[in-house]
Amino acid sequence: MEILVCIKQVPGTSKVEVDEKTGVLKRDGVDSKMNPYDLYALETALRIRETSSGNIGVISMGPPQAMEVIKEAYMMGVDRGALISDRKFAGADVLATSYTISQGIRKMGNVDLIICGKQTTDGDTAQVGPEIAEYLGLPHVANVLKILEVKDKSIVVEMDMPNTIEVAEVNFPCLITVEKDIFQPRLPSYKMKLKTRDKKIETICLNDFEDRDENKYGLNGSPTQVERIFPPDANTDRETWTGSSEEISDRLIKKIKELKFV
Ligand SMILES: Cc1cc2nc3c(=O)[nH]c(=O)nc-3n(C[C@H](O)[C@H](O)[C@H](O)COP(=O)(O)OP(=O)(O)OC[C@H]3O[C@@H](n4cnc5c(N)ncnc54)[C@H](O)[C@@H]3O)c2cc1C
């Protein structure tokens, strides 16, 4: 089976400045790491390979430094990695990002199962996975909690719906996005780090795509207009209460109700 995992490099800190003109995060020079939710997607792929065999590829869209997350995936045991990177992709919103990644996936060749994380810790929209699937015309299931069975031509999964848990069987090729805790992600291995030190990372740019229409990528291909981005005001109000434990706990319950937390 050919499995492809989408992984994104995200800032390792919440202290990222915003370009006031474009409303885009200034990511240059900021510490970065693999989107934590994508570690669960990677682990899911590795577990499926252990029981059903096959190959695992990873794909990431980002600037050249995003190769670091591909190297990390190699250290976890992934077979193949590609970075989609081109200045023409800068300023892409969710729609343009998903279209770009879908074109990158087409370039990588046949795939049976695409696995994405549930969401990222920076953009946080949880839309990229389903949008990639729509662009590729594939069936997809989001918020997968458990892999129940991997068959020759389909996968059976448990998905988290708002009020229920549903079981779905989806034919390959398909895309799933997985919940945190589906499996405990393994740590990158030092042995694998040495073994994969010179492992090739493919790079994919606009010229490699089937669709090279520049109007569909980057800022040109992004219908989203960001009017303003600003950090939320920090609420520094404090109250100090004194009294017996019973008095304070009664007051705490009243306050929680007053603030409509319950
Ligand atoms: C107007 C506008 C301009 C923007 N300009 C830029 C910009 O210049 N540079 C920039 O970096 N961001 C930019 N962004 C943010 C960018 O659009 C999002 O980071 C991107 O769409 C991913 O969305 P998300 O983080 O919400 O992913 P989610 O939908 O929350 O991610 C779900 C899953 O999809 C996969 N995935 C998501 N993104 C990637 C990726 N890049 N590569 C591989 N897999 C991925 C992962 O598996 C992830 O777990 C811009 C956004 C807007 C609205």
Which tens digit of pLDDT belongs to each residue from 178-196? 999 899 999 999 999 999 9
CA distances (Å), 242 to each of 98, 237, 259, in order? 54, 17, 20
Predicted local distance difference test score (pLDDT) of residue 213: 98
Average confidence score pLDDT of the chain: 93
d(CA 81, ligand 1 centre) in Å: 18
Predicted local distance difference test score (pLDDT) of residue 23: 64
Predicted local distance difference test score (pLDDT) of residue 76: 97
**pTM higher than 0.85:** yes
Q: Is the pLDDT of residue 56 over 90?
A: yes
262 band by pLDDT with thresholds 50, 70 and 90 = confident
20 band by pLDDT with thresholds 50, 70 and 90 = low
Q: Is 27 left (phi over 0), alpha (psi -120 to 50) or beta?
A: alpha
Substitution candidate for ligand 1 out of 7, 8, 89 with most atoms within 8 A of CB: 8
The HSE-up count of residue 141 (CA atoms within 13 Å, CB side) is 25
Atom of ligand 1 nearest to the CA of 128: 29
